[in-house]
Amino acid sequence: MLFSGATFLYAFLPAILLCYFIAPGVRWKNAVLLVGSLIFYFFGEPVYVLLLVFSSLSDWIHSLVIEKHRGDRKAKIALISSIVINLGMLGFFKYTDFLIGTVNAVFGASIPKTGVPLPIGISFFTFQTMSYTIDVYRGRAHAQRDLATMATFVCLFPQLIAGPIVRYVDVAAELEDRRHTLEGAALGIRRFAFGMGKKVLIANVMGELTQIFRDSGDKSVLFYWLYAVAYALQIYFDFSGYSDMAIGLGAMFGFKFPENFNYPYISKSITEFWRRWHMTLGGWFRDYVYIPLGGNRTTKLKWLRNIAVVWILTGLWHGAEWNFVLWGVMFGVLLIVEKLWLGKLLEKLPGFVNHVYVLFVVVLSFVVFNAAGLKGVVSDIGGLFGAGGIPLVSGEAVYYLRSYAVAILAAVIGATPLPKLLYNKLHEAPKVALEPLATAVLLALSTAFIINGSFNPFLYFRF
């Protein structure tokens, strides 16, 4: 079920809100959320909902074992068992066919692929559950004794399938007791409406342009760049819009989810970009991979190894294709280069140059990200620089540049804090009408786009 679908917005959401606020006490409210979340997931993945239940059960049992045997070997075994099960699920569903394909390609074998479809959101919920058992093992969280509460955490529909990656410690207290305030609800609604607008009015429109490029037989260098910029904007507004909706929904139900984006396209270095982009994933890899490996408090060689491991894993997390690995490696190399040499140079350069550098790299990186395998990377990156003798400009490229100029400009401005800064300068009085009006307009406009059946995929669902 998509947040930006009629089933969610005008059937599921009102129904669950009604049941939730009628339900007395936090235990019943959790029960409503749990049942609702299972229905939510069931609509998209009828069979794999059992996987979700299994995941909840498995980590609930493992965490209890860990807590019972805290400090001894059994706790460690339980932790390893939990990680093996989680990574095993992720590996089986996400990477088996990738591995088979690679073996076939390298050794000329013809091992048949499993063809098992990827459960929606598996990368998100396995990371959440892993963080839970690891935190229990480290003593940062108490094991949740109530299975229903634990399952509510794992299955919580706002962040279940596309993040942000919410750790148990982030919401542990709220799972037991949370307040529902008018302010929380209003701010959640506002956040949800803005996220919906980002997704439906900007990301989907950019998505139409990227699809037009893919379908066009009139490619040119200009068209490749138009595509690259459109895709960079699409993926930002798609994913950050989803995160906004998730955070907004969480707030409506009394939860405070972590932020996931902080205007990444205004960054002045790639290091800064990754502090602003998909912050919960970056934080997860930092806390559960990079630091346990020794982080930067080790020899230079091991430090470089640690960065390499994190970024290969980051690439692989995003997709089981070599272009994702390349994408991760590319950022790993750039981060190392920035930390060793480029960072100091960037500090001395004018901010404008830094922005151009970051945007150039990021736009290229998303072309790699969205390519169809490594062959697609060569073709798409080549196209940006005129490979294959394509013309600099084509009639279609100019036409679509003109046709989407306003949307691109709006997206570029919307990717900066400028609208928020301007809004914050307003006095409170006009905001009394403006905020409800903006909420209504965004929801109504988004509904208009949804009804018209326009392009509506969520890019991060495949992760």
Q: Whose Cβ is closer to another protein: residue 111's or residue 406's?
A: 406
Tokens of 147: 């299975």
Contact 313, 236 (CB under 8 A): no
In total, the chain counts a number of residues equal to 463
Out of 218, 259, 287, 338, the only residue in the binding site for another protein (CB under 8 A) is 218
Out of 172, 308, 381, 398, the only residue in the binding site for another protein (CB under 8 A) is 398
Number of residues that bind another protein (CB under 8 A): 61
Q: Is 453 in the site for another protein (CB under 8 A)?
A: yes
Q: Whose Cβ is closer to another protein: residue 72's or residue 215's?
A: 215
Burial-class residue 266 by CB neighbours within 10 Å (0-12, 13-18, 19+).
middle
Positions of E strands within 78-196: none
Residues classed as catalytic: 318
Q: Is 9 in the site for another protein (CB under 8 A)?
A: yes
Tokens of 373: 């395998």
Out of 51, 147, 148, 185, the only residue in the binding site for another protein (CB under 8 A) is 185
Q: Whose Cβ is closer to another protein: residue 379's or residue 447's?
A: 447
Out of 381, 435, 461, 462, the only residue in the binding site for another protein (CB under 8 A) is 435
Tokens of 318: 């995003």
Q: Whose Cβ is closer to another protein: residue 177's or residue 428's?
A: 428
Three-state SS at 163? coil
From the CB of residue 82, how many other CB atoms can be counted at a distance below 10 Å?
Answer: 24
* Cα 463 from Cα 447, distance rounded (Å): 26
DSSP codes of every residue in 251-308:
HHTT--PPP--S-GGG-SSHHHHHHHSSHHHHHHHIIIIITTTTTTSS-HHHHHHHHH
Window contacting another protein (CB under 8 A); options: 72-80, 264-272, 325-333, 434-442 = 434-442
Q: Is 1 in the site for another protein (CB under 8 A)?
A: yes
Q: Which 400-419 residues touch another protein, going by CB under 8 A?
A: 402-407, 410
Q: Is 47 in the site for another protein (CB under 8 A)?
A: yes
Tokens of 251: 């707030």
Contact 155, 74 (CB under 8 A): no
Q: Is 450 in the site for another protein (CB under 8 A)?
A: yes
Q: Which 15-34 residues touch another protein, going by CB under 8 A?
A: 15, 17-18
Q: Whose Cβ is closer to another protein: residue 205's or residue 326's?
A: 205
- How far is the first Cα of the chain from the last one, in angstroms, to the nearest whole number? 16
Q: Report, in angstroms and rounded to the nearest whole number, the Rg of the chain calculated over CA atoms.
A: 23
Q: Is 11 in the site for another protein (CB under 8 A)?
A: yes
Tokens of 442: 């965004």
Q: Quick one: DSSP state of residue 452?
A: T
Out of 19, 23, 44, 391, the only residue in the binding site for another protein (CB under 8 A) is 44
- Residues of this chain that interact with another protein (CB under 8 A) are 1, 5-7, 9-11, 13-15, 17-18, 42-44, 46-47, 182-183, 185-187, 189-190, 193, 205, 215-216, 218, 395-396, 398-399, 402-407, 410, 428-429, 431-433, 435-437, 439-440, 443-445, 447-454
